[in-house]
Structure formats: C-alpha cells, structure tokens
Amino acid sequence: MGEEKQYAGYVTDIITEKAVDWLDSTDRDDPFFLMVHHKAPHSPWLAAPRHMNLGVEGEFPEPETLMDDYETRSEAVKITSIRVEDTSERNLKVDPPEGISTDDKRRWAYQRYITDYTRTIQAVDDSVGTLLDYLDENGLAENTLVIYTSDQGMFLGDHGWHDKRFMYEQSLQMPFIARLPGEIDAGSVSNAMLLNVDFAATFYDYAAIDCPDEVQGTSGRQILAGTTPDGWRTSMYYRYWMSMLGHRVVPNYGVRNERYKLIHYYGVLPEDTGLDDLNIPAEWELYDLQTDPEEIKNVYGSPEYSSVQADMLRELDRLQTAAGDSPRH
C-alpha cells in the first residue's frame, strides 16, 4: 500500500507462504479467487539454495534446433541478441572456456542456461505442490477450479535462443492445465485455440458473474468440459510491439491457424533504441507447421504456397480489424 518492504527468504517461497496465509484468513463458506504469480523463472535464473545442485550441467539433451543457422529467415531473426551464447555475464555467471569454437560456445551456454533455469523452476513446482496439498488438507480440492498457466511460452535453447517475444511456437504457445473434479475430465486434452484474452471471460463464467462488455475474449468453460463450441476460432492474432532495446527484437505481428503461420516484421524502430543504423527492412515469413513443425523453412513468396499466403493475409486483415489494431506497413 505504497510502503516498501523487504522480506528474508527466497522469492518463490515467500509468495507461496503469503498465498497460504491469505487462504488461512478466508471464511471457508465464502468463494475465493487467488492468483499466485512467480517471478523467479525470469533472468538471471537464481535458484533456491536447496536446489543449487539439482541436475548435472553438460548432460541436458539439446533441442533439435539448437544449432539453427536461420538461413531462410528474415534479417530481423538474424540480428537478435537472445541467442544463448549472447546472453549477459549476469545470466551465465561464469566465463566460457577459452579457445572454444562458436558452435561449442552455443552448446556450452545452453547447458549453463538450462541448468540454472531448471533449478530455478523447481521451487515453482514445489509451490504448486504446497498449494494443492493445502486444498486437499482443508477439504477444498473437490470444489476449487485450479488453473496452471503462464504469460507466454519460453525458448529453452530452441533456435539457439532463450527468452520469448518472437512468434515461433515455443514462445507463442502457453502452458494451460486446469482441474475441477466433476466437470473437467482428468487427463483430457483439447486442441482448440484458447487465448490469454479468454482468461477473464472464463473466470467470470465459472464464478457465475456476467462478463463486462469491454472484456475481450470468450469463455473457454465448454472447452475445458470437453466440448468445442460451434464457430470457435480456428485462427489467432499475435503482436509484439516493444522496442528492440536490450534484446534486439524487431516489432512483429502475425496470424496462426491450425496449419500455417504468417509473421510480419514491420521494420519500424522506436526512436530510443539507438539501433537506427541497422536499417531493418519490412519482412515476411510463412511456415507450414504440418511439414515443418520446427519452423526452419520460410516459404513466403514460394509459388506453391501462393494461395495459402493470400488466404493468410486476408485472415490477418480480418483479425487485426476485429482486435481494433492498426497494421504497420
């Protein structure tokens, strides 16, 4: 409430303890809504002391695209600084071995990154367990909707990257797991496109509260119950508009349907980036996720995909208009 406080301990544990304390303060007969947001999985990936020695650095399997050379991709992809070997000393924490090759540096940096990352998120796993145990021990598990999700996906060495921001699958797709005994079948899976703009409407639905007109999105309750409503979306719109400063990520937007993905790097740099000399052009990428699930081959401009490309451009226009967004060409 406007007053700064400092707490002793590890941040994920402190957030979990405060969540449990809040649950203890509620009346068991009253409905409650609690969101527990963890920050530690962000850089510089500092693990809890009890997890400092988890995992064996150097023994994590490498993702298939770790050594991606971005051959068919846009210039925007080639100049980004989110490659694992380019991450800061603050994140890597130790210097790379002297005299190693460029490829070996990437492999070394990946092992450093993924070791710290997995150690850091172990405390988040502990947190989830603590909260689920609390619901069990207090007779709340059978009547509480539990959702585990995130604000975006994460590159874990995929395409040689850490971080997020780009529209490739590992960053675009978000974890979403829900549990509500009696309504959501355990182990069931849906391939329907549920978006983060649907979260609020979904929460309102479960709480039996009318969703305000100004809230974007549609309730996903039927999807979680195992039925995809008629007319449910089969495509989605994405936009990343922040400046390149710090990560050298060119602003971009795009559309993804059940098979294809169209991305546009619109080449407009905010004035405060200090990167005007890069002169990044406006560029397009198109991927066939059925034949190229790792998004290695950009087929934008290929004659055999001309009709697909035209359809995706029309769908992009439609979704931008529906979102009230303005295209940048």
In order along its 329 residues, the chain shows pLDDT tens digits of: 899 999 999 999 999 999 999 999 999 889 999 999 999 999 999 999 999 999 999 999 999 999 999 999 999 999 999 999 999 999 999 999 999 999 999 999 999 999 999 999 999 999 999 999 999 999 999 999 999 999 999 999 999 999 999 999 999 999 999 999 999 999 999 999 999 999 999 999 999 999 999 998 999 999 999 999 999 999 999 999 876 666 888 889 999 999 999 999 987 655 555 555 566 788 999 999 999 999 999 999 999 999 999 999 999 999 999 998 987 65
Q: Is residue 301 part of a domain?
A: yes
Beta carbons of 104 and 84 less than 8 angstroms apart: no
Q: Is residue 198 part of a domain?
A: no
- Which two tokens mark 11? 């941040």
- On whether both 31 and 176 belong to a single domain, the answer is yes
- On whether both 46 and 119 belong to a single domain, the answer is yes
- On whether both 24 and 172 belong to a single domain, the answer is yes
- Residue 45: which residues within 8 A CB-CB, separation 6 or more? 91, 113, 116, 117, 119, 120
Q: Name the pTM for this structure.
A: 0.92
How many domains does the chain fold into? 2
Whole-angstrom distance, CA of residue 167 vs CA of residue 144: 33
- On whether both 116 and 21 belong to a single domain, the answer is yes
Q: Is residue 215 part of a domain?
A: no
- On whether both 172 and 290 belong to a single domain, the answer is no
Which residues form the domain of 279?
233-329
- On whether both 186 and 237 belong to a single domain, the answer is no
- On whether both 180 and 237 belong to a single domain, the answer is no
Strand partners, 239: 253
- On whether both 183 and 237 belong to a single domain, the answer is no
What's the gap between Cα 119 and its chain centre? 19
Q: Is residue 253 part of a domain?
A: yes
- On whether both 173 and 280 belong to a single domain, the answer is no
- On whether both 149 and 275 belong to a single domain, the answer is no
Which of 130, 165, 190 is where one domain is finished? Answer: 190
Nearest Cα to 320, choosing from 268, 264, 270? 264
- On whether both 247 and 300 belong to a single domain, the answer is yes
Q: Is residue 197 part of a domain?
A: no
Output the domain CATH number for residue 302.
3.30.1120.10
Residue 37 CB-density burial (10 A; 0-12 exposed, 13-18 middle, 19+ buried):
exposed
- Which two tokens mark 213? 């007109």
- On whether both 177 and 243 belong to a single domain, the answer is no
Nearest Cα to 94, choosing from 120, 107, 112? 112
